[in-house]
Structure 1
Amino acid sequence: MSDHVTRVVLTVRSVHFPGAVNSKFTSSLSFSRASEDDAMPTYRILDQEGRIIDQSQAPPDISTDLLLKMYKDMVTVSIMDIIMFDAQRQGRISFYMVSAGEEGIAVGSASSLTNRDPMFAQYRETGIFQYRGFTPADFMAQLFATKDDPIKGRSMPVHYGSHKHNIHAISSTLATQIPHAAGAAYAVKLQDMQNPTDERRVVACYFGEGAASEGDFHAALNIAATRSCPVLFICRNNGFAISTPTLEQYRGDGIASRGVGYGIDTIRVDGNDILAVREVTRRARELALKDGCRPVLIEAMSYRVSHHSTSDDSFAYRAKVEVEDWKRRDNPITRLRKYMESQGLWDESKEKELRSEARKQILEAYRKAEKEKHPAVANMMTDVYESVTEEQREQMEKLKKLVERYPDEYDLSGYEGGSSGLKLPGVRVG
């Protein structure tokens, strides 16, 4: 009997509890804590001078046309940012956010996704819209809330959205897009299972490291992991959540360590290296669709060289010399330009031509949008409910009387339809 007991004891060497089935037993009492030596490495292809780091590796599998498109898209976004930031300062638009220093994350990741892959953005992913076909006119229609804005002027500037390009409308509320993306990925998975002949899709979700401090982030990752959802969580770790630096946001190894904790395939990439971002996203997409689907977390490391928004003065909480040093030392546009120059694909004359033409197109769209009318006032009531409610009719009637009483205060000449634009569909006003 004693021999039998001994044999049983010797075979039980790991935990059989359902919460941790692969944990080994130990008689040594020690607490686990990650050290600097445990930090996850950051993948890159190009160094800061635009040179391929590992010459033994095959060169990036990318055509010249695509390489030039990615570069032009980043430059175009950066030029529009400068113009529209100044426009806000002049009072021409109410709000703006630039993506300086982070253009490579948006454009690089978008280049490895298909146009059918739904996207959920935060508010610094202008590059994904540019890459998928947004024109200067499309951007300006939303920024100036013109009659051509598909969102009909209902959102504040830079809160783009496009049904045509499969990009969900941006919301100001921090991190809400993350669980939405997890749910959408589950829906996409079920739809693609029912239609196996169609090209399979993944969902891409963008957010900053500050958003990862919200509860929505943790709920979304856990849902995506347990339901095996094909979603790419792409975190832009740019060092600051508005005025809060990362050192005050968390003590762990960035955001990547959290993905591992939720059982999610995770990688960290140099966000200033657009070729590395593209390759990581390509491989992550393949992984997300493998073996019944799974989520993947990508932490793209960068530095926010701009103010958080036009409502922020970042020099109140960081030194200007630090920002200028980052601008001079490294950014995704400069790094890719150096690489293309080394390959004989780019030179100073092409650079001047690109910047001149991009600026011209943006300013033309800017001036045209500034003169366009805003959507009809009735649009603020439509599309809220399936049909116009009795309360909405009453509210519109009161608004009509207010406009008639104070015509100088409520000038509707700049709105489509003028005062007749107060009429709700199928509803007679007055």
Structure 2
Amino acid sequence: MPSSPRFPGAINSPLTTKMDWIVPSLMPPIPTYRILNSDNVIEDESRLSAEIPTEEILKWYHNMLTVNIMDGIMFDAQRHGRLSFYMVSAGEEAVMVGSAAALAADDVITCQYREHGVFLQRGFELKDFMSQLTSNCNDPGKGRNMPVHYSGRKKVGVHAVASTLGTQIPHATGAAYALKMEALENPSAEPRVAACYFGEGAASEGDFHGALNVAATQQCPVLFLCRNNGFAISTPSSQQYRGDGIASRGAGYGIETLRVDGTDIFAVYEATKEARRMALEHGGRPILLEFMAYRISHHSTSDDSSAYRSREDAAHWKSPERNPVSRLRHWLESKGAWDADRDREARAQIRKDVIRELTDAEKEKKPALRAIFSDVYADLTEEAEAQRQELKRIMLKYPAEYDCDQNVDGVQGL
């Protein structure tokens, strides 16, 4: 008797005489993994890695608090004209800090533009943030990018942020493929993964689908870390997709996937740690994590979120029971590792440090004018050289029109 045909497009699909339609609305919703319960208590302590000392968790809290306070100050600074633009990450601090804590120091990271906590957890300092935000001479990007587009590849292993939505996702897949080849050539080397951060809005870009498909077919060791805050820039998720969030797409590409409570830093940490372990198994494979959170503030200083959501909804997620900073603080206090007095002192000191670093950054010189033309070609093209000479001529002819004394080397350095 001949064997059943094996269609190459779906080899393991059994044959049936019944018309079995896949009806998404009848499928159970994907559950959300958590460790902290609704009262911010860990009911099963065995679910938390035993090797995490309380001192490390206190560092997580301090970094989350720092991001939260820095965001508030920088948002106001933009309103006062001290910055041209800013984006806060209120409500998503646990996603950033918790996931970054689970990654290795030499993992390759690409991100979007709300990953302040990732940079901070991996060693970025307040001076580094302020140098980029004020576009001074200490900014590795030489002042050529808009605020919150940090560059930390050399210092913290995070590639520069770019505004083009979704491009970092295939970049991560490419990096992961390179890491896979590197591991094959040097089996004794410490294995590494690529990790990519993006929002659910970026998952609507074609780059997302191409990156996941290549990563799956080539079995690349990459973590796709999606921050699903429900609104993208200003479009509710209900208007972006009909499927069950972003996690449902992972299964479609044959990628192991987990949905996680993004306001629970313990769940974020444990999920990312396990995802990294899985990604390195059997020569490598991609993993998708969907972190469920809520963007408490506006998308950016150019946005008014009251136009597309209610203030009551945002206030609910800002409450101590729901926002990630308060949730971790509640747990620390229940363990006797933190109290109200220490919290007040920490907040006051962080606020003082942020304001001091911002003020100091504003006093620094701006990058050299010649940086306008550098880093594109090894040698300037004839056209670029002519433009440089013309710019220098005009600046020397009309010195009162340009604040060249604010730049390193001034116009003469051009």
- Normalising to structure 1: TM-score of the pair? 0.93
Per the TM alignment, residue 58 of structure 1 is displaced from its structure 2 partner at its CA by 4.6
1:34 lines up with 2:34 in the alignment: no
1:251-308 CA distance string (max 9 Å, x none): 0010001000000010000000000000000000000000110000000000011100
CA distance in 1: counterparts of 2:413 and 2:76, whole angstroms: 32
Structure 2 unmatched runs, 5+: none
CA RMSD of aligned residues (A): 1.2
Per the TM alignment, residue 81 of structure 1 is displaced from its structure 2 partner at its CA by 0.3
Aligned to 1:239: 230
| Counterpart selection for 1:88 from 75, 78, 88 | 78
Instruction: Summarize the Cα distance change of 1:405–1:270 in structure 2 as closer, same or farther, 3 Å threshold.
Output: same
**Conservation of the 8 A alpha-carbon contact between 1:60 and 1:275:** no
| Counterpart selection for 1:385 from 369, 373, 377 | 377
Per the TM alignment, residue 36 of structure 1 is displaced from its structure 2 partner at its CA by 5.8
Aligned to 2:130: 140
**Conservation of the 8 A alpha-carbon contact between 1:84 and 1:96:** yes
Count of residues in correspondence between the two structures: 411
**Conservation of the 8 A alpha-carbon contact between 1:49 and 1:339:** no
CA distance in 1: counterparts of 2:147 and 2:56, whole angstroms: 29
CA distance in 2: counterparts of 1:98 and 1:391, whole angstroms: 40
The 5 Å alignment of 1:12-411 reads 12=4, 16-35=6-25, 37-54=27-44, 57-61=46-50, 62-162=52-152, 163-328=154-319, 329-411=321-403
CA distance in 2: counterparts of 1:26 and 1:58, whole angstroms: 42
The amino acid that maps onto 1:379 is A
The amino acid that maps onto 1:363 is I
Instruction: Summarize the Cα distance change of 1:176–1:58 in structure 2 as closer, same or farther, 3 Å threshold.
Output: closer
CA distance in 1: counterparts of 2:79 and 2:26, whole angstroms: 43
Per the TM alignment, residue 407 of structure 1 is displaced from its structure 2 partner at its CA by 2.1
1:307-335 CA distance string (max 9 Å, x none): 00111111111111111111014111111
1:157-201 CA distance string (max 9 Å, x none): 000011221100000000000000000110111112222222100
Instruction: Summarize the Cα distance change of 1:317–1:165 in structure 2 as closer, same or farther, 3 Å threshold.
Output: same
Structure 1 unmatched runs, 5+: 1-6, 423-430
Per the TM alignment, residue 60 of structure 1 is displaced from its structure 2 partner at its CA by 3.8
**Conservation of the 8 A alpha-carbon contact between 2:142 and 2:371:** yes
Per the TM alignment, residue 52 of structure 1 is displaced from its structure 2 partner at its CA by 1.0
Instruction: Summarize the Cα distance change of 1:344–1:36 in structure 2 as closer, same or farther, 3 Å threshold.
Output: farther
The amino acid that maps onto 1:46 is L
CA distance in 2: counterparts of 1:141 and 1:276, whole angstroms: 33
SS at match of 1:240: coil
Q: Percent identity?
A: 55
Structure possessing the higher radius of gyration over alpha carbons? 1
The amino acid that maps onto 2:209 is H
Per the TM alignment, residue 91 of structure 1 is displaced from its structure 2 partner at its CA by 0.8
The amino acid that maps onto 2:31 is P
CA distance in 1: counterparts of 2:91 and 2:130, whole angstroms: 22
Instruction: Summarize the Cα distance change of 1:84–1:238 in structure 2 as closer, same or farther, 3 Å threshold.
Output: same
Aligned to 1:418: 410
- Normalising to structure 2: TM-score of the pair? 0.97
**Conservation of the 8 A alpha-carbon contact between 2:35 and 2:47:** no
1:74-121 CA distance string (max 9 Å, x none): 000111000100111111111100000001001000001111001101
CA distance in 2: counterparts of 1:137 and 1:100, whole angstroms: 21
1:1-28 CA distance string (max 9 Å, x none): xxxxxx44xx53xx50110011111111
Aligned to 1:4: none
Per the TM alignment, residue 421 of structure 1 is displaced from its structure 2 partner at its CA by 2.5
CA distance in 2: counterparts of 1:89 and 1:58, whole angstroms: 44
**Conservation of the 8 A alpha-carbon contact between 1:119 and 1:168:** yes
CA distance in 2: counterparts of 1:367 and 1:334, whole angstroms: 29
